[in-house]
Each structure stands twice: as C-alpha cells, then as structure tokens.
C-alpha cells in the first residue's frame, strides 16, 4: 500500500489497519480506503461494521484478507497477489472486470 500511495504523491505516514480495520487516504482527488480484514471472524462482522455503505462507485478499495468478508464484498476489479520468494517478491495482477482491464492497460 505504501508504494501505491507514494506513487500518487502521498508523503504522510502509512498506517496498517490491522486493528482499526480501515485507514482512509485522500490524495489528488482520490478517496482510497485500505482494509485489513485479518481479524474478522465472519462476513457478518463486515456487514455490521457498515463498510457496505462505503461502496459508492467513487472510492478505491484495497482489501487485505478479502476472503474474510465472504460474499459481502463485491468482486474486485483487480486482484493483486504477492508471493514472498527467498530473494524478493513476485507480484501478479489479474483483472476481473472491464474496469480492471482498463486500469491495467494504463500501467
């Protein structure tokens, strides 16, 4: 997340949302929400937290441990999979929607 925010010009501290579940960032006209769902026990916790209300078609969501939100979380436009290797990391990007495809074409 830090790399994405820095590439957009964000120079503030990037905090992990492990305990708060979500950290909001407002950068160059974009509203980004970074979620870490590791601590959720089930998808009802996602629902009761009111996160569904944040889906307005304008915000960008980065969700770690999205599977913990179950079917309550809509399909991601882009999935980012990071694999830790003995000497670095391997990152794979996969578009799930036409919006995701358009985004990846811009990279």
* pLDDT tens string 38-76: 988 888 888 888 888 888 888 889 999 888 888 888 888
- If asked whether residues 95 and 63 sit together in one domain, one would say no
- If asked whether residues 40 and 24 sit together in one domain, one would say yes
- If asked whether residues 53 and 82 sit together in one domain, one would say no
What is the CATH number for 32? 3.40.50.300
User: Does residue 107 carry a pLDDT above 80?
Assistant: no
- If asked whether residues 56 and 19 sit together in one domain, one would say yes
> How many domains is the chain built from?
2
Which position has the higher pLDDT, 83 or 53?
A: 83
- Provide the mean pLDDT of the chain: 88
Q: Which domain holds residue 50?
A: 2-74
Per DSSP, 50 falls in state: T
- If asked whether residues 64 and 83 sit together in one domain, one would say no
């Amino acid at each position: 997340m830090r790399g994405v925010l820095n590439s957009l010009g964000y120079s503030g501290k990037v905090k992990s949302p492990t305990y708060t579940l979500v950290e909001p960032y407002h950068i160059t006209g974009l509203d980004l929400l970074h979620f870490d769902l590791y601590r959720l026990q089930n998808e009802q916790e996602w629902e009761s937290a009111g996160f569904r209300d944040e889906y307005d078609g304008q915000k960008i969501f980065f969700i770690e441990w999205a599977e913990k939100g179950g079917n309550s979380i809509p399909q991601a436009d882009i999935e980012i999979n990071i694999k830790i290797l003995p000497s670095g990391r391997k990152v794979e990007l996969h578009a799930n929607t036409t919006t995701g495809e358009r985004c990846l074409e811009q990279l």
